[in-house]
């Protein structure tokens, strides 16, 4: 009789343990896996994976100062360099050149361009560089802006100057290109153009174009 009671007791304990394991143990284990599963990060954007698109650095430069800044920008962000050239030339003598530039501005003259960008539509980000002449861009830069389709593109102005900063150039760009996204511009003193590497690098970081 004692053996029978012992057997019954053993069977009852066994069934109890099986029941606990089947209902609570496995369920708890499954929930734990779900709780610690790695989050889905496929849609998260990392700063170093943001793409700016194909870059063009277009510039007009008479003395070489703006060209120097354009080349430094290219060192930081890559892209293609393009020099805006006009069929008309400017005198080497400073006073004569400024008088010609003043006459062109007053007459809203649009010089004919001697060069064109191949496959302009393929570029997403366009840096536009120029010296400040009489408070704004040379008229040849206006020709470049008006003869190309900037709709939906990001435009980033930069200039060299003798003390006027960007002048009215950025507002003129926005007026000329109402369908473009125009970012904050950079103004570099002409006399400092060849040694403005840190200034240029910091500006590019601030506008999200460089790390």
- The pLDDT value recorded for residue 21 is 39
Q: What's the pLDDT tens digit per position in 29-46? A: 322 222 222 332 222 223
CA distances, 14 to each of 1, 8, 19 (Å):
20, 10, 9
Q: What's the pLDDT tens digit per position in 109-119? A: 999 999 999 99
Q: What's the pLDDT tens digit per position in 54-86? A: 999 999 999 999 999 999 999 999 999 999 999
Q: Packing angle between helix 65-77 and helix 197-206, nearest 10 degrees?
A: 50
Higher per-residue pLDDT: 31 or 128 = 128
Q: What's the CA gap between 58 and 147, in Å, rounded?
A: 13
The percent of residues above 70 in pLDDT, for the chain, comes to 75
Average pLDDT of the chain, as a whole number: 82
- The pLDDT value recorded for residue 211 is 79
Reading the block at residue 82, the tokens are 């393009």
Query: For residues 83, 84, 87 and 92, what is the CA-based torsion angle, rounded to 10 degrees?
Result: -70
Class of CATH domain 52-206:
alpha beta
Decide the pairing of beta strands 181-182 and 154-161.
parallel
Where are the chain's structural domains?
Answer: 52-206
13, pLDDT greater than 50: no
Query: What global pTM score does this model have?
Result: 0.76
- The pLDDT value recorded for residue 38 is 30
The percent of residues above 90 in pLDDT, for the chain, comes to 73
Reading the block at residue 73, the tokens are 């920008």
Q: Report which of 182, 188, 210, 209 is spatially closest to residue 65, judged by C-alpha positions.
A: 188
- The pLDDT value recorded for residue 23 is 37
């Amino acid at each position: 009789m004692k053996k029978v009671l012992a057997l019954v007791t053993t069977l009852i304990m066994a069934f109890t343990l099986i029941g606990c394991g089947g209902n609570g143990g496995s369920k708890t284990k499954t929930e734990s896996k779900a709780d610690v599963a790695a989050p889905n990060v496929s849609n998260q954007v990392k700063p170093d994976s943001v793409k700016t698109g194909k870059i063009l650095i277009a510039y007009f430069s008479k003395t070489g100062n703006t060209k120097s800044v354009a080349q430094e920008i290219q060192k930081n962000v890559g892209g293609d360099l393009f020099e805006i050239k006009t069929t008309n030339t400017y005198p080497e003598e400073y006073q004569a050149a400024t008088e010609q530039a003043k006459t062109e501005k007053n007459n809203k003259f649009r010089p004919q361009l001697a060069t064109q960008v191949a496959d302009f539509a393929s570029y997403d980000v366009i840096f536009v560089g120029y010296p400040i002449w009489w408070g704004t861009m040379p008229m040849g830069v206006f020709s470049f802006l008006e003869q190309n389709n900037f709709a939906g593109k990001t435009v980033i102005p930069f200039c060299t100057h003798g003390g006027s900063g960007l002048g009215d150039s950025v507002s003129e760009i926005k007026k000329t290109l109402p369908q473009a996204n125009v970012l904050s511009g950079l103004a570099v003193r002409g006399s400092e153009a060849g040694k403005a590497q840190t200034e240029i690098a910091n500006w590019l970081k601030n506008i999200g174009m460089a790390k």
